[in-house]
Structure 1
């Protein structure tokens, strides 16, 4: 019998290879784990940095369809685990019937989520500050990464993570999410009322600047009309870097425990 597959989906400004410690952790626990690239992304951080235009302009639906095609290639539905905009993509896929369960870590705001804290606005300024950016791929400066991802880390660790994992990313999804509540057919909309989907775990870092805790609380409320399992776990004092910093294993272990509680085992 094949092991339970797991698909990891990263968010903006981090390369797919940033999931490799998680993938190895899950493989050691009996899962078949993969972390595919976003469309246009190269296989390494260095190559992606050198070919930024290849990822420019990609939309939420383009990324969602890209991962849906990957999932269609499995013999059985995988667990889907996403971070940041990868979390939003994860929610979309689960709502559309993909996967047997899902975990959205610090997920970008979906349509219907109203809170827009100052910290979140500041984190989004590198992209949203210039409307012409919508068709571009943008890189974060180290200072911007420190504020948006690594605000709870030492300067040394923040520098190390910035150098190791950051890439230029399409920023069209940020514009789409920012305007979601003013767009009738927004690509940031999720089928939150689906009662036939698998269980969903939301995870929030309480010190996150990019997706503040209040935003994830509001996301949970969007699922109130569905009887499908939807739960929220908070990690106190953690920022947006919680999937890649020194404490990533604590988050991964909590995810693994939750999956086993849902009878999703490797």
Structure 2
């Protein structure tokens, strides 16, 4: 009889303590805490379970959810304050052990600037392109269209240039100038398509923002074995040049 009682007591104990509920009479997991005591049945609504905490028999922890699908399943916001958090940072793994820390991710922003108008091209000498200066689109803070110029903040940029003097078959030197130097100068003929250069404005010698202006120096010369001559200045033509700007 004693052995029968012991077996019966053990069976009852196993049934009673298989799931533990705190503030709930219907625990859904090994440990179920209904912090607000607002679950009135075994199938609480989303709002009712928002204050629940569960720990499952296979080691999952659920916060705001009673059927967690991962080792840690949170239905709600997550706040991590380790002293390195800041606006614009992302939570990422710092090394191969998966330690999460706040870090910065470089995102390439782009912009497109266009200068267009008409120009009197002399027989010789460098001329500045002046006309309508406008941003076609812009994701770069501090970058803007100036009068006949581009105002660009300190930083590093990849610039892709396209443009043309029309309808002339021009041949000459396309030049980009800052307030202190010439970061890019390039011979081209007929039209300027896809010329690319690095613009590094990180040096303190540059203004912030720096003013970028563009120029053209005509060259009259024979080109190739056929002695084909490009249109010789002087002439008056319309022009357009675009800068596709990638912040790196």
TM category, shorter: under 0.3
Which structure has the greater CA radius of gyration? 2
TM-score, length-scaled by structure 2? 0.23
Larger relative contact order, structure 1 or 2 (CA cutoff 8 Å, min sep 6): 1
If each structure's helix is expressed as a fraction of its own residues, which one has the higher value? 1
If each structure's strand is expressed as a fraction of its own residues, which one has the higher value? 2
